Amino acid sequence: VKTVGPVFEPGHGRQAARLGVAHPHAGPLGPTALPLGPTDPATEVVVTADPSTPGTTADGTQLWRITGTGRQTHSVHLDGCDAQLVNRVGRDGTVRPPEPGELGWKETIRVNPGEDVVLALRPVVPPLPFRIGDSLRLLDPTRPAGIRVGAAPVSPLDGRPATVVNQMVNLGWEYRWSSSAAGLRDLGMSRPLVFRVSPKGPTGLTATPAPGSATALPAIALTWTGNGSRPPATSHLLQRATDAAFTDGVTTITVAATATRYTDATVTPGVTYHYRIRAENAASCSAWSNSVPASVGLAAPTGMSAQIPPAGPLRVALRWTNRSFATGIDVQRATNPTFTSGPATTAIGVTEQHLDPAVAPDTTYYYRVRTTYLGAVSPWSTLATVITPPVPEAPSGLAVAVTAPGPDTARVVLTWASSVPSGPGSGFAVQRALDPAFTREVATFTVTGRGFTNSGLARGVTYHYRIRSFNVVGESPFTAPVPVTTPA
């Protein structure tokens, strides 16, 4: 129920008029109307349930009853709406249909004294090539925030005493309903008419970094609370920027209206992004949600190991496990654990293993790796340490013992004193021939210890033996040939 009637302004000593609502405590002995001024909180809210389908039962049509409480006829104008007079109800309760000139949709309605006007009100959302947000302003834009405004002394909701302070309010698409008479309108016969065209905005936006994996891109996971409302949202607009003011590097992403989460996998690790989101429909949009910053980093590789392969040439085999998505790998080697001595960095493709051939014998090396992606790098992995074997030395102290275990065979036992060469793939090569130049009937035997037994030899034959050590670094020189004659 709305009211139109006169008021007296003692501060100015004049009579004016106000629009208002039915008094919450209306009765035979009390006031029937609660006049409201232009700075009172809005009481008329029209919801456009579906701006894209005007003319349907969901287009936000309302029924109003406006009561004329004074002795003067007023023309009430409704901005942004189509109004259709349904009927008029006199003081005696007589219901009268609209006059011929009052049929159809109107913007201005005549309200007679002592008469109730029943009208249908429908919001008109104009087609626009862009979206319009809500009107956010102070109740009285001409006065400072926080001070008391000259509002009605009681609440129009429950009739309790109320004090209204000047504060920010959301008036949606702000229209006015007012007197058509400019003089009365200027004296305060004007009220906000709130169009709820924009959907209610999402709240509680959070951003959680997701470092990803070797097969999943690094991303930032966003979640929010959707606030289904009338009118409904048709989509969400997610906005990302590289500054809190959303002026640099701005990217917009459209998200489904029913979604409450989104994963942004187009981020660059190490860059701080700021996010905010709002709900939208065909005509309008909500206010932006809270903004949240987030930055994602790459995870360091794990399981770093370094080994010497058993087959030459001398190399170091590295293995690790990538824990983040990568477009490249940095392999770093040094000769001390702080990587200040002899550091060398090699950029390789995405893999989880690498062979380093540029190593020297008898040296301690330290290795670490990291992943790279879009110019960002992960932390270094843990260190892997490896000691390359030295160049093998020639055996020394070669001793020979000859026996005849059977009437037709002989046995030669060789021993030597040098240490066993270190490292994988190491051992001794024992060569036997029938001449000191080792050109006749050459046989080569590989042993790992400091001794060799050659059985099944012929009796009365002179054999020549020589020995050298080897590992993945290389081979030592042969010892001097040693002739051995088996018993006749």
pLDDT band at 421 (very low <50, low <70, confident <90, very high): confident
What per-residue confidence (pLDDT) applies to 112? 93
Q: Are 47 and 162 in contact, with CB atoms under 8 Å apart? A: no
C-alpha to C-alpha distance for 327 and 65, rounded to whole angstroms:
70
Mean pLDDT, residues 121-133 taken together: 84
pLDDT tens across 248-258, in order? 999 999 999 99
Mean pLDDT, residues 186-202 taken together: 90
Mean pLDDT, residues 30-55 taken together: 78
Mean pLDDT, residues 327-333 taken together: 95
In angstroms, the Cα distances linking 164 to 149, 154, 316, 421 are 6, 10, 79, 95
In angstroms, the Cα distances linking 447 to 388, 400, 452 are 21, 16, 7
Q: Are 64 and 82 in contact, with CB atoms under 8 Å apart? A: no
What per-residue confidence (pLDDT) applies to 151? 76
Structural domains of the chain, with CATH: 2-196 (2.60.40.420), 203-294 (2.60.40.10), 302-387 (2.60.40.10), 399-485 (2.60.40.10)
Given a cut of 70, whether residue 49 has pLDDT beyond it is no
Given a cut of 70, whether residue 44 has pLDDT beyond it is yes
Identify which has the larger pLDDT, 231 or 6. 6
Return the percentage of the chain with pLDDT > 90, whole number: 65
What per-residue confidence (pLDDT) applies to 29? 77
pLDDT tens across 70-118, in order? 889 999 999 988 899 999 999 889 999 999 989 988 999 999 999 999 9
pLDDT tens across 445-476, in order? 999 888 999 999 999 999 999 999 999 999 99
Identify which has the larger pLDDT, 375 or 65. 65
- Sheet-wide strand order for 14-22: 33-36, 14-22, 2-9, 62-68, 116-123, 81-89, 95-96
pLDDT band at 51 (very low <50, low <70, confident <90, very high): very low
Determine which helix (DSSP H) or strand (DSSP E) holds 184, and give its type and residue range: helix 182-186
In angstroms, the Cα distances linking 327 to 35, 217, 353 are 70, 11, 15
Identify which has the larger pLDDT, 419 or 3. 3
What per-residue confidence (pLDDT) applies to 228? 75
pLDDT tens across 383-414, in order? 999 999 998 888 988 999 999 988 889 999 99
Determine which helix (DSSP H) or strand (DSSP E) holds 353, and give its type and residue range: strand 353-356
C-alpha to C-alpha distance for 282 and 51, rounded to whole angstroms:
7
Nearest Cα residue to 196 out of 229, 236, 168, 238: 229
What per-residue confidence (pLDDT) applies to 419? 73
What length does the chain have? 488
Question: Which amino acid is present at 342?
Answer: G
pLDDT tens across 166-176, in order? 999 999 889 99
